[in-house]
Chains A and B, each alone.
Chain A
């Protein structure tokens, strides 16, 4: 850290710039001069695939506060669209980083996804995006076991790629089995790089929908890696694939998973009662969807970010009723508790302070 940054982060400068803080002044001169906030400048955008919704790898130069990341972690990326910041989590695809390093994110332009579509189709080199510090525990252990299994689907390849690249850079001598599912060879991300991996990485690229290989099942995994139950495994991809892998491993703690939402979260069973948004006075039948979706269906515009329960942007107070976290399945019946409305679905009558 250089002297200027040390000085700008000092308590004296904090007191002089109170109550706003030094970054609120620095950013007006140059958005990348912030010393406490994490941001990144886009320094390169590269197309990855030949078919399907476009996929791009975006190289970012994080601001001074970036603490680096462990392979497999994700960051929240915030972009501004029509004046409003939209935030979404993306796994870092580059190998583990230190402060000052460039990082890359690879994403498919989800037709319903504001952030990914913006980054892949509209962002320009030179744009500045908002970033969080790296988060998540979908990472490699220390010390490394001598055998590893990665299973991924679609753009779930990105954290796996970060881990693979980290292993290669560290000169890992153990055996890696990598099973990846994609729609077709033309949809394959990192095709060129995957073709040139060293012999201790056994890559199985499967394209069931294109007639090349079978859909994931336990027997198929057992055929590829007979002793899979004794191997540390990482799985990342759409929720459907992850559920199947979880069935295979059946509570085996060697399996770590991470999945992403492709459409709306499934409503809970037995939706009944009414959902009321107290502050706005809006009320409707409980559709069983998340409170955020129900609010939006009633024309409200609550603040939200990730819509998958990780960024806490949508945190609101539930005044009455029982809600179930649709991601974790946890039910809670406390009055006046803060909940994340994007992942909370009401069971029966519910009142939310929105």
Chain B
């Protein structure tokens, strides 16, 4: 069946997209004008809580029976530091306060990834090219197959294993993100290309290791092994939590990805539109929102990455109302639902594509290199057909506008 792509990449007309963008700008401006004492008090309160949990955690290791409590306390400290404080401060959400302790250029977080390197790959690359295959390296982080458009190969049979390992060692995955290890392995990037990262990386790893695995354990004397194990557990709990929250941000069913052509020369309105379609939220209690650094409001965060995250819950109803107005999907759900959906995707995409072929090659095809980041042998037309396969048993495909339109075509 010969099919030419008749779908436009956008469901909205260009005029509607611009109008949508203007309405987003209005929300943004209104909140920006309203920033003040309450926002400053909030983030300082969170910092105070984080430091208190940290102090309590470190101190409780002197009481062996309180070990679980110590670990819990230190885990919360690290989660608060990385999420509600670190992530958000480094986005420049609190730069307007002029406080060096809460400034995006100066803040350093309690994890092995140097803030300077993270800000480049996250604030610039991920937030600018969100979900653009071949540009946003957060799609699969160079090691996972998280999108149908990434061409399958036998390596991806290990998808669930890689995901599990990434979760366990998440802080290291984040730290090595800028090295683009997968491109070094494939020969696209040489070790020399990462030279500018080495010093910062070594210094940060040294500082974090010295603190958690040498100095604090040593300070507890004979309890050294217990404290060391406790610190390692706290880092692990933080890894698992942050991995799970972050994977709910762009990978649940229904979240869209984009080709480079689709995002070429896009207007501000189209950028907003792409951010909305490429992100998903988690519903839950206020505690969940705080512990997720309000990344449970990933949609609002991607629309307004430099507005203080505490404002996202108040903005959310307005964004939702605009989604209703323009008949757009506002992707949200409880943590278990979003996580289940992500897990299903990790397992499903481990396997090669199967099912009914409904579409031929289209202009939206991308080269395999762009999709996976790996160089792959030149593909035949037959292989390329499989890339645009749509599965009748795939609930994702139904809610994916672009793929759904291919089906109808």
A: residues with CB less than 8 A from B are 12, 15-16, 18-20, 24-25, 28, 78, 80, 82-87, 281, 299, 301, 303, 305, 313
Residues from chain B with a CB closer than 8 A to the CB of A87 are 98
Min CB gap A336→B, angstroms: 15
B225 at the interface (CB under 8 A from A): no
Task: Report the nearest B residue to A87, measured CB to CB.
Answer: B98
Contact call B98/A15, Cβ cutoff below 8 A: no
Whether A85 pairs with B207 at a CB distance below 8 angstroms is no
> Complex formed: what's the CA distance from A28 to B268 in Å?
41
3 A-B pairs with least C-beta separation: A83-B40, A85-B98, A19-B108
B101 to A24, Cβ gap below 8 A?
yes
CB of B370 within 8 Å of the partner chain: no
CB–CB B36/A19 < 8 A: no
Nearest CB of B to A295, in Å: 13
| Known contacts A19-B109, A19-B207; A84 and B32 CB within 8 A of each other | no
Expressed in whole angstroms, the Cα–Cα distance for A15 and B37 within the complex equals: 32
6 A-B residue pairs with Cβ-Cβ distance under 8 Å, sorted by A, are: A15-B207, A25-B55, A80-B40, A85-B98, A303-B95, A305-B98
Asked whether A15 lies within 8 Å of B210 as measured between CB atoms, the reply is: yes
Interface residues of B in 77-135 (CB under 8 A from A): 95-99, 101, 108-110
CA gap between A15 and B212 in the complex, in Å: 10
* A-B contacts, CB under 8 A, total: 61
List B350-364 residues whose CB lies under 8 Å from chain A: none
Contacts of B215 in A (CB 8 A): 12, 15-16
- Cβ A82 vs Cβ B36 within 8 A: yes
Q: How far is the CA of A18 from the CA of B207 in the complex (A)?
A: 7
Judge whether B48 is part of the interface by a CB distance below 8 angstroms.
yes
Q: A80 vs B347: C-alpha distance in the bound complex, in angstroms?
A: 52
Q: Are A24 and B51 in contact (CB under 8 A)?
A: yes
B189 at the interface (CB under 8 A from A): no
Which residues, 14 to 53 on B, are CB-close (under 8 Å) to A?
29, 32, 35-41, 47-48, 51
Closest beta carbon of chain A to B69's beta carbon, Å = 21
**In the complex, which of the residues A28, A82, A299 contacts B51, with contact meaning CB atoms closer than 8 Å?**
A28
Which residues of chain B in 266-306 are interfacial with respect to chain A, using CB atoms and an 8 Å cutoff?
268
Q: B38–A83 contact, CB under 8 A?
A: yes
Known contacts: A25-B51, A83-B37. The answer to whether A313 contacts B98 by CB under 8 A is yes
Could you tell me how many residues of chain B have their Cβ less than 8 Å away from some Cβ of chain A?
Answer: 31
B141 located at the interface, meaning its Cβ lies under 8 Å from any Cβ of chain A in the complex:
no
Contact between chains at B108 and A20 (CB < 8 Å): yes
Residues on B close to A: CB < 8 A? 29, 32, 35-41, 47-48, 51, 55, 95-99, 101, 108-110, 204, 207-208, 210-211, 215-216, 219, 268
Shortest Cβ gap from A284 to chain B (Å): 16
Residues A18 and B208 in contact, CB atoms below 8 Å apart = yes
Additional pairs, 5, CB under 8 Å, beyond known A83-B35, A85-B97: A12-B215, A18-B207, A83-B38, A84-B40, A301-B96
Q: Is the beta-carbon distance between B108 and A303 smaller than 8 angstroms?
A: no
> Hey, which chain A residues are within 8 Å of B268, CB to CB?
281
Q: Complex Cα distance A1/B170, Å?
A: 43
| Complexed CA–CA distance, A281 and B268 (Å) | 8
- What is the CB-to-nearest-CB distance from A282 to chain B, in angstroms, rounded to a whole number? 10
Residues of chain B contacted by A19 (CB below 8 angstroms): 108-110, 204, 207-208
CB distance from A63 to the nearest CB of B (A): 15
A15 touches B29 (CB 8 A): no
Nearest CB of B to A340, in Å: 15
- The residue in A25, A85, A86, A299 that gathers the most chain B C-beta atoms within 10 A of its C-beta is A85
CA distance A335 to B261 in the complex (A): 29
Name the residue on A nearest B85 (C-beta).
Answer: A20
User: Inside 8 A of B29's CB, which chain A residues have their CB?
Assistant: 299
In angstroms, Cα B101 to Cα A85, docked, is 12
CB pair B108–A83 under 8 Å, yes or no, is no
Residues of A within 8 A of B204 (CB): 19
Q: Is A15 in contact with B211, judged by CB distance below 8 angstroms?
A: yes
Give Cα A301 to B216, complex, Å. Answer: 42
Contact A83 B51 (CB under 8 A): no
Is the Cβ of B48 less than 8 Å from the Cβ of A303? no
Q: Which residues of A are found within 8 Å of B219, using beta-carbon distances?
A: 16
Docked complex Cα distance between A36 and B261 (Å): 51
**A83–B216 CB distance below 8 A:** no
Complex CA distance for A303 and B104, rounded to whole angstroms: 11
The one of A16, A20, A84 that contacts B216, using a Cβ cutoff of 8 Å = A16
CA distance A85 to B95 in the complex (A): 10
Known A15-B215, A19-B207, A28-B51; judge A303-B37 contact (CB<8 A). Answer: no
Residue of A nearest to B219 (CB): A16
Question: With contacts A18-B207, A19-B207, A83-B36 known, is A78 near B51, CB below 8 A?
Answer: no
User: What residue of chain A has the Cβ atom nearest to residue B268's Cβ?
Assistant: A281
Interchain nearest-CB distance for B17 vs A (Å):
15
**Chain A residues with CB under 8 A of B108:** 19-20
B354 to chain A, nearest CB (A): 45
Per the bound structure, the CA–CA distance linking A18 and B97 in Å amounts to 23
Task: List, in ascending order, chain A residues with CB within 8 A of B210's CB.
Answer: 15, 18
Nearest-neighbour CB distance to chain B for A20, whole angstroms, equals 7
Q: Which residues of A contact B35 (CB under 8 A)?
A: 83
Question: In whole angstroms, what is the CA distance A24 to B40 when docked?
Answer: 16
* A70 shortest CB reach to chain B, Å: 25
Are A83 and B211 in contact, with the CB atoms below 8 A?
no
CA distance A85 to B35 in the complex (A): 13
A281–B41 CA distance with the chains assembled, in angstroms: 30
Contact A83 B48 (CB under 8 A): no
